[in-house]
Structure 1
C-alpha cells in the first residue's frame, strides 16, 4: 500500500486524518508551535530525518530516469545507428521526437502529480519509462525507435519537476537548493555511471537473445522497473502522511514551510487556476525559465553527444575505452553542482551562483572552437560538464519566488518546460556533416552559455530594483495597503507574488 493513502491500516501508531487537520489548525492558531522561533536543534534533527527518508529514493529514481534517457548516446557508438539503418538526420530525429512529447505533456504531468500525489505519481511514471527502455531493446527500424522515444518522453517529463515540487513540500527555501542538487546530481552521475555500465554490459556475450546495444536498454530498463516498484511501496506523499514522523515533527515540517509565506494557512493547498497561472507567469519564472532553456541546450548536447565527441577526440581508442572516458567529465560536473548548491544553501541566495559554472562553460566552448589538441579538447569536456549546476539552482529559484504550493508546482513545471524546449534545440546542435570539430554545434553552445550569463545578471538587477520599488510603496502607505482591507483570504492567497508584502528572493 502506498504512503499516499496514509497507510491508516498499519499497526504503527500514527496521526489520523482528523488529528492531522487538528495539527494544521493548531499551527494556524499558534497553539502548537511558534512559527518564528523553532528550536534550531530540533530543526537539524528533522532535516536529517527527512534527508535520510526522501533523498536516496528520489535520487535513485532520477538516476535511472537520466540513464534511460541518455543511454541512446552510448548505444549509438555501440552500433545502434548501423543496425537500424540510420542515415543523414535520423539520429537527430529520434532525439527530437522524445522532446516533442516531453514538451507537450510537461504541464499535464505536474498537474497529475499534484492531483494524485507524488507518492503514487513518481514511482508509477518511473515504471512506465522502464518498460519503454526494455521495449527499445526490440526495435528494428527508425520509425519504431521514434515511437518508443515519444512514449518515453511522456513518462519521463514529470520526473524532474515532480521531484522538485515534492521536495518543496518538505524544505524551506534556503534548504531546497542543496536537496535539489542531491537528486539532480544524478544527471551527471548517470552519464558517468551510464558509460561505465554500458562498457560493462558490452563485455557480455549476450542477455537471452539480445546482443550488443540491445542489452544496454534491456538490462537498464529491468533495473528501473524493479527499483520503481520498491519506491511505490515506501514513498511518502506529504508530511501529514509520513508514518516515520511523530505528531510534533509533522507540525514542525508544516510550520517551517508556512513560515516563509506572506499569506495562506495550508501547507498543501487545493489546485486553483489563478494561483497556477501566478506560478506560470511570474516574471522570475519566465526569466529563469529562459535561462534554463539556454542551459538545457548545452546540457542535452553534452548528454547525448559526449560519447560521439569522445570518439572524435580519441578515434584510435576502442569503443569500450571511449565509453569509459565519458565518466570523468560527468564526475567533475557533479562535484561542481554540489559545491555551488551547498554555497547557495548557506547564503540563501541562488541567482548569483548561476555565473561561476557559466563562465567555465564559455571557456570550454572557446577551447572546442580554437584548439585541435586532443588533450585540450578532452580537458574542455570537464569544464563543459559544469553546465549541470543550473538544474537545482533554477528550480529552487522559481520555487522560492512564488508563495502557494499550487504556484510552486506551476513555476517548477514551467521552468522545466523551458528546459525541454532547450533539449529539443540541443538535439540538433551536433550533426554528422559538422564532425569532427562540430564548429556549428560548439558555436551555438557558446552563444547559449553567453546568453545565460547576460540574462541571469539582468534578472538579478531587476529583482533588486523591484524590491526597492515595493519597499518605497510600502513606506508611502506606512505599511498598510488599504486596497487589501476587507478582501477575503482566498483572494489574498490568489495574489501570490503580487501581494504588496511579497519580496523577490535573489
Structure 2
C-alpha cells in the first residue's frame, strides 16, 4: 500500500524533480496506490533527496509480479548462458578426445588457443554492453547467441592451430556481450536485493555447464560419427547446432523491458517500473539517455573498481577450473578411460552449482552482498592448500570440491554488487561491463596458469589460485570497512545545501557523488 503522507512530508522532492502525481488511475487502484502510475512516468522522481523511496509497495502485489518475472524472464537467458559456457569450455573436453594431436599442437599451444578467445572477449566487453543498451537486450542477446553458436559449429571444421585460433577469436567477440548483457537486462526488472539471486539462476549455468558439458561430451563420444564429423569434432558440431536452435527460439521469447511485455497488465508494468525507479536517487527516468559523464562515473566508481578486481581474481579460479578440470582429473586418475575422466569432472561442478544458488539466495534475504563475497574465499583457499600439500589422489580430488563450492558464487554476487553501487541505467550498463571486463582479464591469466611443463602437480597454477583467493578475502573485507566509513562521512553532509541551485538534470547526473547516496554493502 502507498503512503500518501510520505509525499507530503518531503517538501524537497519538488525542488529537484516533479512531484509524483496524485490522481488515481484504474489500474493502480488494484494495488491501493494512487502514486504508482506517477512513479512509473517519465519526469517524476520516486525518491527524496536522501534516496528514500516516496512510495510504499503492496508486498503481495510485488510477490505476484516477482513470481511472474521469474517464470517469464529468467529461464530463457539461463538456457542461453548454459550453452554460452558450454561452447566456451568444451575445448577442455575436446582436448581429452584428441584435439591437440589432430591439430598438431605441441607444448603450450593449447594455452595459446585459450588466450586468443580472451583477447577478443576483453576488447569487446564494454562496447558490447553499450550496444546492448542502445539496441535493447531483447534483440541483442539472441543475436550474439546465434553468432557464438555458429562460431562453435565452425570449430568442428578447423584443421590446424591458426584456423582454430581464428574461430576462437570470433567466438570471443560474440560471447563478450553475454554475461554483462544478461546481468544488465535483469537489472531492468528486479530490485537491488532481488538481483543477486536472479543473477545466480543464470550464472549457475556455468558450473552446470561443467557438469552437463562433461556428460554431454561423454555421450557424444560414444557415437561413431555425426555426419562427416568424428571424435572431438562431434562435440563442437552437435553443441553448436543446439545453441543455434535455442538462439532462434529466443528471438520470439525474450522481452526487452517491462513496457513492451505483452504478458504484463498495465498495472503490473507500472509496478515493475516504479519498483526499480524507487531505488535510484534523483532519477526521473528508468531507462535514461546515454551520456559521457554517467558512463565515466560508472567506470571510475570506487566500489565498481574494487568489486571488478575481486572478480578478476575469482575468474582465475573459475576459468581455470572450466578449462583445466579435465586435465587436473586426468593427472589424478591417469589410468582411467577418456569417458571416465570426463565423468569425474561432473560431481565438483554439481556441488558448485548448489552453492552458486545458495549464497545469492541468502544475499537476497539479507540484502547484503559484500559479506558473502568475503565468505567465498576461505574454502577456495583450503582447496588449493590441499592441492599443494598432498599428492594423494583422493585428497586432491576432494580439493576440487572445495574450490568449486564457493568460487562460482562470486559471479552473481559481484555483478549484483556492481549493479547496486550505481544509480542510473547508463552507469549500470558501464559498471556491469567494467566488472566483467576485469573478470575476463582474470580468465586470460587463467589460460596460462596450468602450463604443460608444470604438470602433473601444477604447483604454479595451484599456488596462483591460492594467492588469488587469499587476496579476495583481503580486498572484500577492506571494501566492506571502507563503505561503512564513507557512509558515516556522508551522514554528516547537509544534502539540501549541497543540491541547492542544481537543475534536475544536474542532480540526475551526480551518480555516486550525490550527497544523498549511500553505498550498499
TM-score (norm 2): 0.90
Q: Tell me the distance in 1 between the aligned counterparts of 2:443 and 2:391.
A: 27
Displacement of 1:36: 2.2
Alpha carbons 1:35, 1:255 under 8 Å: kept: no
Alpha carbons 2:45, 2:283 under 8 Å: kept: no
Q: Which structure 2 segments of 5+ residues have no match?
A: 1-26, 28-35, 47-52
1:433 aligns with 2:453: yes
Q: Tell me the distance in 2 between the aligned counterparts of 1:94 and 1:67.
A: 16
**Residue of 473, 477, 481 corresponding to 1:453:** 473
1:362 aligns with 2:381: yes
Q: Tell me the distance in 2 between the aligned counterparts of 1:279 and 1:238.
A: 21
Q: Tell me the distance in 1 between the aligned counterparts of 2:104 and 2:175.
A: 27
Displacement of 1:493: 1.1
Alpha carbons 1:132, 1:148 under 8 Å: kept: yes
1:56 aligns with 2:75: yes
Q: Tell me the distance in 2 between the aligned counterparts of 1:132 and 1:26.
A: 41
1:25 aligns with 2:41: yes
Aligned positions, number: 480
**Residue of 426, 429, 436 corresponding to 1:409:** 429
**Residue of 510, 513, 517 corresponding to 1:495:** 510
Q: Tell me the distance in 2 between the aligned counterparts of 1:366 and 1:234.
A: 46
**1:121-270 residue pairs with structure 2 within 5 A?**
121-270=140-289
Runs of 4+ more than 3 Å apart: 20-24
Map of 1:271 onto structure 2: 290
TM-score (norm 1): 0.93
Q: Tell me the distance in 2 between the aligned counterparts of 1:153 and 1:270.
A: 28
Displacement of 1:233: 1.1
Displacement of 1:488: 1.4
Displacement of 1:82: 0.6
* Aligned Cα root-mean-square deviation (Å): 1.6
Q: Secondary structure at the match of 2:508?
A: helix
CA deviations over 1:324-381 (Å, ceiling 9, x no partner): 1111100111111111101100000000001222111000000000101101101110
> Are the structure 2 counterparts of residues 231 and 21 from structure 1 closer, same or farther at C-alpha, using a change threshold of 3 Å?
farther
Alpha carbons 1:264, 1:404 under 8 Å: kept: yes
Q: Secondary structure at the match of 2:65?
A: helix
Q: Tell me the distance in 1 between the aligned counterparts of 2:506 and 2:108.
A: 52
**1:383-398 residue pairs with structure 2 within 5 A?**
383-385=402-404, 386-398=406-418
> Are the structure 2 counterparts of residues 29 and 408 from structure 1 closer, same or farther at C-alpha, using a change threshold of 3 Å?
closer
**Residue of 82, 87, 108 corresponding to 1:68:** 87
> Are the structure 2 counterparts of residues 29 and 411 from structure 1 closer, same or farther at C-alpha, using a change threshold of 3 Å?
closer
1:284 aligns with 2:303: yes
> Are the structure 2 counterparts of residues 283 and 29 from structure 1 closer, same or farther at C-alpha, using a change threshold of 3 Å?
closer
Q: Tell me the distance in 1 between the aligned counterparts of 2:45 and 2:359.
A: 38
1:400 aligns with 2:416: no
> Are the structure 2 counterparts of residues 439 and 355 from structure 1 closer, same or farther at C-alpha, using a change threshold of 3 Å?
same
Map of 2:496 onto structure 1: 480
Map of 1:343 onto structure 2: 362
Alpha carbons 2:43, 2:285 under 8 Å: kept: no
Q: Which structure 1 segments of 5+ residues have no match?
A: 1-13, 15-19
Q: Secondary structure at the match of 1:480?
A: helix
Q: Tell me the distance in 2 between the aligned counterparts of 1:68 and 1:370.
A: 34
Q: Tell me the distance in 2 between the aligned counterparts of 1:29 and 1:209.
A: 61
